[in-house]
Amino acid sequence: MKHTHSQAIPQSSHFLRSSVSTALALCLTGAIAQQPKAATDPWMDPALPPEQRAHLAVQAMTLDEKIQLVHGSGWGVLRAGAPVLPGHNGGAGFVPGIPRLHIPDINLADSAVGARMAARESRYATLLPSVLGLAATWDPEAGFLYGDVIGRELRDQGYNMSIGGGANLMREPRNGRNFEYAGEDPLLAGVEVGNLIRGVQSNHIMGDLKHYALNDQETDRNTLNVLLGHREMRETDLLAFEIANRIGQPTAVMCSYNRIEGDYACENDYTLNKVLKHDFGFKGFVLSDWNGTHSTVKAALAGLDMEQPGTVYFGEPLKHAVESGEVPAARLDDMVTRILRSLFVSGAVDDLPARRVVDPFRGRKDAAHIAEEGIVLLQNRDAALPLSKTQTGLIAVIGSHADVGVLSGGGSAQVDSPGGNAINIKEGASVWGRPVYFPSAPLEFIRQKTSQSTVQFDSGDDPKAAAALAAKAAVAIVFVHQWMSEGQDAATLSLPEKQDALVEAVASANKKTVVVLESGGPVSMPWAPRVSAILAAWYPGIGGGESIANLLFGDVNPSGKLPATFARQETDLPNPHVPGLTEKTTNNRMDAGGDAAARAARNITVDYRPEGLKVGYKWFQTEGKTPLFAFGHGLSYTTFAYSGLKVDKIKAAVTFRLQNTGDRAGDEVAQVYVTLPSSTGESFRRLVGWQRVTLAAHESKTVSITPTPELLSTFDEPSDTWKRPAGTYQVEVGAASDDLRLKATVNLR
Ligand code: GLC
């Protein structure tokens, strides 16, 4: 979307937080203003290719100027008392520009699910649904829209770089950051996050893809060592990044904290130089996660291009390494060229952010649209849903602060709630480690939907009281929550705070019990057989309460499909426990007083080799385990029929008819899975394509989906290439990975 300028407020170059930092800052860098462009500098000619512009600018730079660009300026606003330099925009990171050469400052903002820390600067930002909720839309256009909201609001706030774009695969359903990622399948995750990055960058700011790679749990994330074969990496976690990179063309990739086969991800020659830069053709720059850099020479030679947040390794030590020849001058030039190329190619130089007022209504509408496409109807016995707007009697609404708001995820993805945390208004801006609710109260919107019913709320703190209310009601709606955050994992799949008992009590009091789940990822549901309906609402974003009510009462027909398997119990998972997380150990929580030395001493190994390629639904299939709800599962208020499968023998193009056999319009996400020839040793089906199809009542459409060749291939390590083997391929088409309606085999040469 072309960015249009309204009246711009000139960007002040002075954001100083305290007199102390003022003195320190000014002697460090002096006031940095965004200079008007000078036509004379050849690299400022937008007609030149970005590579050439970057090359020309690097040639004009001094060694000190090059060093200045390859590291941040310190913890800044993230750590009380840290110096905050002029030009720092209040985000997670800041790299002072070079006014002499008209290179702008780089202001980096966390923005996994919306712009973080906006309230601190008296700004507004839209909380989008979780990225997992976006993935549940299976809608690439929703991915682009998601990123567009983030990109335009960051730009309005004066930032020129987003550090969102999490694409880590859900190998671990209890990972605290699953709400920031797009599920267990590399194709779905890559497509959604790739389009999200496209959306961000369409606003002429730099986008990011993170946390590269295999940072699939939070426990001991700073030191854990991941073991996994190269073929397995390339067909799972790295494939998600490969697809996201191809679609999104991110200007930056953030390397992660963990080690991979012994080397830290930010100094790992194989994953950075060989796979990302050579095999994937990544032309942007690699920046470290915050304090994720562990060396100067090794990291520089392995492919790291920028240290964040500070200067420990890529400040003076890198300058000395270059002067001594330990790091070739050409490598430093490559680092700076990549950074400058990203600035030029993104538009961040030619179209400087001109601060504007964020449009909260537009943001809320976009967030609600995505939420309503991504909320999943998991179960709907006896058509308990949609609820009737004219039904009489009492409606009981129970639990999870549904009277004041909806839950959001914690950590560096935390967006500030307008007016403050709905469950603790005086708290003001978000506090790390505390759950934040957004003021979109399901209770209020449920009340608005019904004209003949009384709607009564119970907190759910006392299951007996909740059951007593439910017993009097025509229908009981129980809201349950699972708060997740960066820096910690869930010890189990179970709902916390004895919520299972609450649901059991309500269900035993009222046979028409509806459960609405606000979670960061999959949870177990022992009570599922005893409730009528279940909605997975994820973290539904700034308008979440209204979106949930719209689906409960049928103003919106559910169309979401699970981006991850919901297991019945831990023992069905590859790891019954999160590696390193036992009842005795603390999490990796940075603020919980967890003993860093003890954590470092643990140096745990996370061995993904046993399950290897078999992530998520592939594991359940090969292990013969039945999930509670399968990958790709999601119901509708209408029904769909599949027929007429044809598979083309050359490109394996799949064509079929899809009909809406019900009386109301709806969207169906029709999925295509393939099982490769047995010679590959892969006996499981893999998602190779899908289409989200909108159909009016009784309408039919022909759907055609052509898998890309590497999705029909395996990664051959000896030749280091993708190979599509000859042989018999099984093709299956259906509404979920466990609801396959059409099958065919095709022999491909
Ligand atoms: C954090 C996160 C990363 C975030 C960065 C800056 O530790 O791992 O996702 O962007 O630091 O806040």
Q: Please report the pLDDT score of residue 588 as a whole number.
A: 46
Q: Which residues contact 594 (CB under 8 A, 6 or more apart)?
A: 586, 587, 588
Whose CA is closest to 386, among 522, 228, 535?
535
Q: For ligand 1, is residue 289 a contact (CB within 6 Å)?
A: yes
* CA-nearest residue, atom 11 of ligand 1: 290
Q: Which atom of ligand 1 is nearest to the CA of 309?
A: 6
**Do residues 397 and 456 touch, judged by C-beta distance below 8 A?**
yes
Query: Strands (DSSP E) along 376-522, which ranges?
Result: 376-380, 393-398, 406-407, 437-438, 453-458, 475-482, 513-519
Phi, psi (deg, nearest 5) at residue 674: -130, 140
Q: For ligand 1, is residue 117 a contact (CB within 6 Å)?
A: no
* CA 391 vs CA 321, 449, 507: distances in Å: 75, 10, 20
Whose CA is closest to 256, among 208, 304, 211?
211
* CA-nearest residue, atom 9 of ligand 1: 412
Q: Please report the pLDDT score of residue 597 as a whole number.
A: 63
**Do residues 121 and 132 touch, judged by C-beta distance below 8 A?**
no
Whose CA is closest to 440, among 537, 300, 575?
537
Q: Which residues contact 681 (CB under 8 A, 6 or more apart)?
A: none
- Rounded distance between C-alpha atoms, residue 196 and residue 140, angstroms: 8
Dmax over CA atoms of the chain, in Å, equals: 82
- Ligand 1 center from residue 163 Cα (angstroms): 8
Q: For ligand 1, is residue 215 a contact (CB within 6 Å)?
A: no
- Ligand 1 center from residue 337 Cα (angstroms): 24
Whose CA is closest to 165, among 184, 138, 185, 144?
144
Identify which of 163, 218, 256, 306 to mutate to test ligand 1's pocket (most ligand atoms within 8 A of the CB): 163
Evaluated on CA atoms 194, 196, 197, 198, the torsion sign reads: positive
Give the pair of three-digit tokens for residue 238: 């790295």
Q: For ligand 1, is residue 92 a contact (CB within 6 Å)?
A: yes
The tokens 């103003």 sit on which residue?
Answer: 555
One-letter amino acid of 352: L
Q: For ligand 1, is residue 218 a contact (CB within 6 Å)?
A: no
Q: Please report the pLDDT score of residue 603 as a whole number.
A: 81
Q: What is the pTM of this model?
A: 0.94
Identify which of 289, 293, 306, 415 to mutate to test ligand 1's pocket (most ligand atoms within 8 A of the CB): 289
Q: Which residues contact 467 (CB under 8 A, 6 or more apart)?
A: 505, 506, 508, 509
Whose CA is closest to 111, among 66, 165, 61?
165
Strands 252-255 and 208-212, sheet pairing: parallel
Alpha helices in 312-421 (DSSP H): 316-324, 329-346, 360-374
- Ligand 1 center from residue 315 Cα (angstroms): 20
Phi, psi (deg, nearest 5) at residue 689: 170, 165
Alpha helices in 461-559 (DSSP H): 463-471, 499-509, 544-552
Whose CA is closest to 653, among 610, 614, 708?
708
What's 246's DSSP letter? H
215: three-class secondary structure by DSSP: coil
Q: For ligand 1, is residue 110 a contact (CB within 6 Å)?
A: yes
- Rounded distance between C-alpha atoms, residue 198 and residue 193, angstroms: 9
Q: For ligand 1, is residue 572 a contact (CB within 6 Å)?
A: no
Residues in the chain, overall count = 749
- Rounded distance between C-alpha atoms, residue 532 and residue 528, angstroms: 8
Q: Which atom of ligand 1 is nearest to the CA of 215?
A: 8
Give the pair of three-digit tokens for residue 587: 């999490």
The tokens 């099982």 sit on which residue?
Answer: 675
Residue ranges for the chain with pLDDT beneath 50 = 1-33, 586-593
Q: Please report the pLDDT score of residue 28 as a whole number.
A: 40
- Ligand 1 center from residue 339 Cα (angstroms): 19
- Rounded distance between C-alpha atoms, residue 735 and residue 376, angstroms: 13
- Ligand 1 center from residue 542 Cα (angstroms): 22
Alpha helices in 8-108 (DSSP H): 19-29, 50-59, 63-69
Q: Please report the pLDDT score of residue 30 as a whole number.
A: 39
Cβ atoms within 10 Å, residue 122: 8
Give the pair of three-digit tokens for residue 327: 């790091």
Q: How many helices (H) and strands (E) does the chain have?
A: 19, 27
